[in-house]
Structure 1
Amino acid sequence: MFNALLLEESGKDTLARVQRLDVNQLTEGDVLVRVDYSSLNYKDALAITGKGKIVRHWPMVPGVDFAGTVLASDHADHKIGDEVLLTGWGVGEKTWGGMAEKVRVNGDWLQSLPGNMSPKRAMAIGTAGLTAMLSVMALEHAGITPNQGPILVTGATGGVGSTALQLLAKAGFEVHAATGRSAHKEWLTRLGASQVIDRNEFLQEPAPLASQVWAGAIDAVGGRTLANILSQTKMRGAIAACGLAGGVALNTTVMPFILRGVQLLGIDSVYAPIATREIAWQRLEETLPVDFEEQCEVYTLEQSIQAAHDLLAGKLKGRALIQP
């Protein structure tokens, strides 16, 4: 028997509670893992609170990522005792996820922990860190360099934004952080932001084209924010779009694309190829501070329910770890 955070349908609501489960109840897979850490992501918070249509099958154990140790395996690449991590692949949405003491998954989705990385550090980085690094890599591939001008990071106090901010600053970019939480200005500055901007500046009705400000951006918000950024991006600039906290609609024009050659780069961290993930994880390990995991708050399974509500209410900053 083991503990897990189980989500069940209750009319139109979602009932989230910690329960004792049997291994035989786990979803199918060829590798059984003891979970050391998971993390609380935006998707997880939507699933736990029932405020988003994340869960595809009921009941569901949330947790779109986890790190731990292999307990049993029928997969050629993973043996008992191996330390592994998983992010994405529909875990916590289609199959049971990492907010449990044990999880069973398809071994093709697992990666070995890079180098001497601990499970705690792996989940301090987690899905958010992977998404941030894939976004940075996309900007690099688009030819964006530090001498072209400032890079904007939206949702800067969130997991993706705060990690992207540190990665970009370490790479020599001038980074401007957009947030609705002015109380965290000093914290964002310590992470590497040269300027902190009120997110409301990006919520006005966007012009087809505005003054050229940004060489590039990493946008975790979407909606009207992304439309405004597009209109303000410099000639040959690029935006990595990796989130939708501000909405899924994008009401813009083709003018930034055909008059300035702006590139809109979609970031998919859920089904990114393993080879790409391995490059990203290696760079994350080499680039992020050695004490990166100490920036994170750690919650129990029981505490994760309230933490999910707090995340959606904008009360959390950075990364939130779950220790089953």
Structure 2
Amino acid sequence: MATCARTAWKVLAGCQRQLLRTSCPSHTGISHSAPRNIPVRTFAAVRAQKKDKKEESEKEVKKEKRVIDDKDRHKPFGKTAWVPVDDVYIMRYYPRTIYSAADATDMLKKFQALDFTPHNQPVYIDVKLDMKLEKKRKVDPFVSTVHLPHPFKTEMNKVLVFTEDSNQAKVAQENGAAFAGGVELIQPILDDEISADFYVAAPDMLPKLVPLKNKLRKKFPKSKRGSVGINIPKMLELFKTGHEYMVENECYVRTQIATLNMPSEHILANLKAVLADVCSHRPANTGPFIERAIIASHTSEALWFNSQDVLPEPAEDKKE
């Protein structure tokens, strides 16, 4: 009887130890000799559903190609089309828009109002000339002075008159010449004691003014520029309020013609005067002298305009 009780007690003690081992956390420093059977249950992964190709094709946005209607005429060489479809486009892919002179002037005024830029900013033109002649010859670059119908300068130009005639010197002073004299003015000019915007001279003074050629350079009096003559009052009237321009880089005329706060009629009148004077240097029996014309203000974009709108009609057309 005692043996059965001891055996039952040992069995209960072993079961208690086994229960404590399985329930308590394990430590790395203690080794467990008793095997553990932990139940493990495996689950099957959810299989991904295949997307139908038809649904994907329906969701894809079809890119429609832009259609440009150019059936009536050929596309310009190297360009996409004659006229862009959208109002935002890359300019190099389309031909430039050529405006009339009046429309271009009005657009410059609108740009100034929208950009809040100075209203009295200068207005410039950039004209490319056809200087080619027969047998690989070219028209020589020229310098000219034109009388603008509506001057934009507030101050008059300083004009110096070379003459040894006392009467002509007196007339020059009465007509607003800054300086008038003969050979005695050469040395003060070389020493930079006297300077002027324009220099005019009587014909008999030209041989005596040779020492001033390197000093004055383009301002040296020449008959081609109208700065050599007998009618001194007429020359003074031109150069006091005249506007000078020149041909740069062989065939370009870049000059100011007005300010943006002037009325559009005054800007067009000055533009017409400058272009008419430029075309007066065109050789006889040649084609159009102006290849392209651009007008722009100091802060605006350059606008191409049709120069034929402001140029006077040729004499041949008037006769017909």
Normalised by the shorter chain, which TM-score bucket?
under 0.3
Normalising to structure 1: TM-score of the pair?
0.23
Larger relative contact order (C-alpha < 8 A, sep ≥ 6)? 2
Larger Rg: 2
